[in-house]
A and B are shown apart, each in its own frame.
Chain A
Amino acid sequence: MDLTEVIDAYLVESDEFLRDMEAILLRTEKSSPTEDDLNAIFRAVHTIKGTAGMFGFESTVKFTHVVENLLDRLRSHEIPFQQELTEILLNAKDHLSYLVNEETKGKIPETKILIGDSILESMKPFQIPDSEISLQKENQEDIEKESLVANSDSTNLSKKNSKNNTISGYLISFRPNRNVFSQGLDPISFIGYLKKIGTIHSLKTITEEIPLSNEFDAESCYLGFEINFHSDSDLNAVRKVFNFIENDTFLHILPPGSQLEDLVDLSMQLPEEEILLGNLWKEIGILTEEGLLGYFEELKSRKTGISNKQTEETLLITTNSDLSIDTNELKNRVSDSTKEQNKSATIKVDSKRIDNLINRVGELVVSCANMNQLISSLEDSILQESSMHTMRLLNEVREISLKLRMVPIGDTFQKYTRTVRDLGKELGKEIKLVTEGNETELDRNIVDKLGDPLTHLVRNACDHGLETSEERIRKGKPKQGLIKLNAFHEAGSVLIEITDDGNGIQKEKVWQKGIEKDLVLGPMPESEDEIFKLLFHPGLSTASKVTNVSGRGVGLDVVLQNIESLRGTITVKSTPNQGSRFTIRLPLTLAIIDGFLVEVGKNHFIIPMDMVLECLHFTEDNKSGANQFFPLRGNLIPFLRLGDYYPTEASEDNTRENIVIVRNGDKKAGIVVERLLGEYQTVIKPMGSVFRHVKGVSGSSILGDGNVALIIDIPSLFERTITVENERLYK
């Protein structure tokens, strides 16, 4: 394996561990950590240490070693957990996160090492008495040795095993030499003799070496034995049983209490596959099911130095065919327990591969749509039926492929728990963060780019959204401010809301700032949207004071840019003294959309299907007076002609016009087009950088017949219409 890939795996895995660690530590602020919590934190740190050691990342290893010692003592109840440790361990987590990421790029600067040292120093008062610190120093010497043990999940398990169930009896691995019969020795007689000094708890005869051809020599010994032997006799006494045969045989006896590491050492000396041996030892009761997982982890870390949560499963599956023993049941049980341990077993796949797959599926969808179109003109019902069936299957494949890239937003939300906590402390405010809709799934590409805008909005809410505790009490509000992050699906989009129960935005102040900056003129309009749109203008800030957190006027414009780059929109609602709500509306995915194909002149356009409400026949008589409004069941809906915005060559048969009613959020509008061509699945091709500034178009798509269709960006078109209308009205 390429080392870069291994390091990438280390980075991803460490990031997951550290995130979990942070979540647990934040929980410990409210309630004492459970045994599982402490084990999980320990495992996180130990795993990182193990892998870092394998790569020779000394700074990480040295730092984690001390943290790990503290955690080990906490989990074994040698020292009690104290509330102050949360802060210290959070700092340690942050520093570790830095070390993990930076040490893969090069040496850690001395200044940062000193920061690490000061964090370790802060742990000292919580460590055990001085007399035991010398012991800790001894442990320090073992760092190098321990570092070789790459994965600590296994080491952790092995430690756990050693306390509970490693080897309760002797493990005797006995492989007589081939020529043992010619010397008048019978291996079975030695085994029989064992019964005189103890009990054979279980024994497995290995027969795999017996050839199945003329090579089988009746006078050669091909047998091997793995014995779980229980006896009060000491190792020497057990060894003595094999005295006569020992020189002519492979004999290895592991005494009771031996560790998983010893088993792995042994497995490497024996002729059989290590994995077969693990399963075999499980069968004879040397390893418990948990011990077997630990053994596999330990084995893998020895061999590859990387950890993978799926190892147990993978190893068992890949070797199953080689096993003569019954591993099916074991496999099922192991995989069940693995699932329990890691709620969802996952495979790590390079996201580029998934992108590639989705891209190809997209091409296939387009190509199939074209084929469908051609077939429909042939009037061959059997062919049409077959084509429809293919299309249906393809749609399912498309759905499945897209889901590969979907991730729950919960992980992203989770990191704001820390942000809010830290900001609350910094600003001297009591803030509670509530998250909802954590399971809502969103395209990974979108989630990645959503981090910055969300961080900005959360920081804003903490800083000048919420009042100080004193002010809140004065206003009769609860002392603790509330910030809520919520995600949910709505009409083919994902909505993310950031709500606070603070001051609310003062519309007058925003409008006044707008006037000061020459952005607007005249009296404040009725429409809240129009006022709050100013907030997203570069350089406009209403914060009364600039703090470290926010209020420098740099921000919301960038937030808007980021959201727009994701084909999303952002709206603001605010009520004085009750709080504000920022709502981000995002498409589910960036790759493929269900579109509605329309034609204007000779050009094709695609309107995202989730925004289309209905289509109606349109004549000039439908217009409401001179204004651009269309009467729809008693309501007047503004409309625009697509041909006015994107002038196209007129078609020869200019037939009647149609109006497509679309919606954007809670607003409706009409788009007048010439022909409706129906539903069309569309692969979005990003526009080249030359067209970056073209408004109202979010991408393009190649149609089945080779023509290009522009994908209409409805939110941007709405905005443009409003601007044009405003200009017209104010003239």
Chain B
Amino acid sequence: MEPVQNLKETNSGIEITWNGYLTVPFVKEWKKQSEIWTSSSRGKTIELNLYGIERVDSAGIQLLVYLKNLSQKNHFSMKLGNHSLPILKILDLLGLVSFFGDRIKVKKEHSNEVEFRYGTRKIN
């Protein structure tokens, strides 16, 4: 599914919603779209709503890591929220929950699909 990015101004910055597949064929496009806000977000809070991400792979998760690292370099705050199940599963598998450090809500019906056995220790 083609990337669809929606941007909405908030009091503290921008809320961005992503819909589609965050996988190899589309990651280049996702990166291009993210450049719209990564270059001009200094001092702002970016909330990336991932509810609409239906698939994610190594390339997709790598882009999220890249953006998180970029937020530190370019001095904006980036939060991932509303994680879709595919996102949650991959963060769980790769032990990256604490890397992003976001609050995670797991729906009751999904609770059997994620374990969070490791990689959740808060990094100081």
Binding site for B on A (CB under 8 A): 176, 181, 186-189, 191-192, 200-205, 207, 210, 212, 216, 218-219, 221-223, 225, 284, 325-326, 328
Contacts and interface: CB of A to CB of B under 8 A. Distances in A.
Nearest to A176: B58
A225 B95 CA distance: 10
Nearest to A227: B95
Interface of B is mostly: helix
23 contacts: A181-B58, A186-B24, A186-B59, A188-B61, A189-B57, A191-B94, A192-B93, A200-B118, A202-B117, A202-B119, A203-B94, A207-B62, A207-B99, A210-B62, A212-B69, A212-B70, A212-B73, A219-B24, A219-B27, A219-B28, A221-B59, A221-B62, A284-B118
Given A188-B58, A191-B93, A210-B65, 7 more contacts: A200-B93, A203-B94, A218-B59, A219-B24, A222-B62, A223-B61, A225-B94
Interface centre among B28, B59, B73, B117 (most CB of A within 10 A): B59
Interface string B77-97: 000000000000010011110
B21 interface: no
Contact of B123 (A176, A187, A325): A325
B40 interface: no
A223 B93 contact: no
A203 B66 CA distance: 19
Contacts of A225: 94
A219 B59 contact: yes
**Interface size bucket, B side?**
20 to 34
Contacts of A219: 24, 27-28, 59
Interface in B18-76: 24, 27-28, 30-31, 57-59, 61-63, 65-66, 69-70, 73
Interface centre among B31, B57, B58 (most CB of A within 10 A): B58
B39 to A, nearest CB: 12
Contacts of B94: 188, 191, 203, 205, 225
B11 interface: no
Contacts of B117: 200, 202
A207 B58 contact: no
Contact of A223 (B58, B99, B119): B58
B118 A203 contact: yes
B96 A205 contact: yes
A205 B95 CA distance: 7
Given A212-B73, A218-B28, A219-B27, A202 B62 contact: no
Contacts of B58: 176, 181, 186-188, 221, 223
B121 interface: yes
A218 B30 contact: yes
Contact of B124 (A201, A203, A204, A326): A326
A202 B117 CA distance: 8
B89 to A, nearest CB: 9
Contact of A210 (B30, B66, B124): B66
B57 A188 contact: yes
Contacts of B124: 326, 328
B57 A218 contact: no
Contacts of A181: 24, 58-59
Contacts of A223: 58, 61-62
Interface centre among A188, A202, A204 (most CB of B within 10 A): A188
A204 B73 contact: no
Contacts of B59: 181, 186, 218-219, 221
A207 B65 contact: yes
A398 to B, nearest CB: 40
B63 to A, nearest CB: 6
A730 to B, nearest CB: 83
A202 B65 CA distance: 19
Nearest to A225: B94
A200 B69 CA distance: 26
A191 B119 CA distance: 15
A210 B67 CA distance: 10
Nearest to B73: A212
Contacts of A207: 62, 65, 69, 99
Interface centre among A176, A205, A210, A222 (most CB of B within 10 A): A205
Contacts of B123: 325-326
A216 B118 contact: no
Nearest to A181: B24
Nearest to A328: B124
A720 to B, nearest CB: 69
Interface centre among B31, B94, B121, B124 (most CB of A within 10 A): B94
Nearest to B91: A205
Contacts of A188: 57-58, 61, 90, 93-94
Contacts of A325: 123
Contact of B121 (A210, A326, A328): A326
A124 B123 CA distance: 56
B88 to A, nearest CB: 14
A186 B58 CA distance: 6
A518 to B, nearest CB: 82
Given A186-B57, A188-B58, A223-B58, A218 B65 contact: no
Contact of A203 (B30, B65, B119): B119
A285 to B, nearest CB: 8
A699 B73 CA distance: 64
Nearest to B32: A218
Nearest to B56: A188
A575 to B, nearest CB: 68
B73 to A, nearest CB: 6
Contacts of A284: 118
A204 B124 CA distance: 17
Nearest to B30: A218
Nearest to B96: A205
Contacts of B65: 207, 210
Nearest to A189: B57
